[in-house]
Each structure stands twice: as structure tokens, then as C-alpha cells.
Amino acid sequence: MSVKQVGIRRALAADAGALNQIRSKTPGPFAPTRGLECHLAEPAVYTYLAEDEAPFGFVTVGPATDLEHAGLGEVREWFVSATYQQRGYGRKLLVHGLTVLKRRMCGSALIWLPVEANRPLDVLLKHGFKPYPAQRLVNVGELSSTEQAYLKDLSDYF
């Protein structure tokens, strides 16, 4: 596969279909709890997508949903299409999302990751996320997934 030019931009409501397709084709036990249309409509939630000829990954960040602490932001969703994985795009999207949280005055960032997800965990640990003593069980339809919380201090992020 030849990649001509990759850009990251803020997602628009018109991008919801393409982003839902990325989410549905990503292998693994990910269980999104809200539709992207809701994320794209929330003023305090930011979704950025990576694209070449078409979108292939995205990150959604905003206020924390399940743990309420002052100054806590959350990486709500973070997906890269399988054909673009292991090329650094997931890391670039994560850095973009963390930068948005820092600019929104968040002191730390939280992400919930399925306990079976090893590849994204490696990226999180390399970027300074640490396990947080919280887990949740997410049920979507007939599927369920146990997710572990990871936290990153953003006070010295930049």
C-alpha cells in the first residue's frame, strides 16, 4: 500500500459514517458506549481523524465519563484501521488527543482499555500512562468486555 499524504484534522458531523466504519472493522474487544454522532455534537468533546484518501483512524477526547475528578480528561475512543497499524499513526493520534486535553486545562488523562488489548497498551505505557485502580465491565448487545483504567499526568506534558 502506498500512502501519499496523511493529515490529521477535526472530524465533522459528515465524517460519522466513515468513523463508525473504522470502529466496526477494528479487531478486538472494544465496546464503544456512545455513538459518534453524540461525540461530534458535544461542544466539549473533540474528535480528530487521520486520513490519506479516506479516514483510517481517529481519537476522541473530552471530559471524563465514568470517573469524576477535577481536571480529569478522557481519551474516549482511539482507533486505527488494521491496515494502518504499526506505522506510528496510533501514537500520533494519541499525542494529538493528549495535546487537546492539556490545552483544555486537564491535569491528567484517563483511558479505558480492554484487558485483552496488548498492542495499544504498549503504546500507552511508552507514553507514560500508568495502571489506575479501576476496572469496568462494558456490555454492548450480547458482548461484554472488562476494561482497565490507565492514567497519565499531564502537568509536565508541555
* Integer Cα distance of 147 and 112 in angstroms: 6
* Integer Cα distance of 56 and 79 in angstroms: 8
Residue spans per domain, the chain: 7-153
Q: What is the pLDDT of residue 68?
A: 72
> For 84-139, how does the pLDDT look when each residue is reduced to its tens digit (9 = 90+)?
988 999 999 999 999 999 999 999 999 999 898 888 899 999 999 999 999 999 87
Alpha-carbon Rg for the chain, nearest whole angstrom, is 15
Cα-Cα end-to-end distance for the chain: 35
pLDDT tier for residue 141 given thresholds of 50, 70 and 90:
confident
Q: Is the Cβ–Cβ distance between 114 and 150 less than 8 Å?
A: no
What fold, for 7-153? Answer: Aminopeptidase (3.40.630)
Q: What is the pLDDT of residue 73?
A: 95
More confident residue, 54 or 39: 54
Q: What is the mean pLDDT of the chain?
A: 87
Q: Give CA angle at 34 (56, 101), nearest 5°.
A: 70
> For 61-78, how does the pLDDT look when each residue is reduced to its tens digit (9 = 90+)?
999 887 777 789 999 999
108-114 and 72-80 beta bridge pairing? parallel
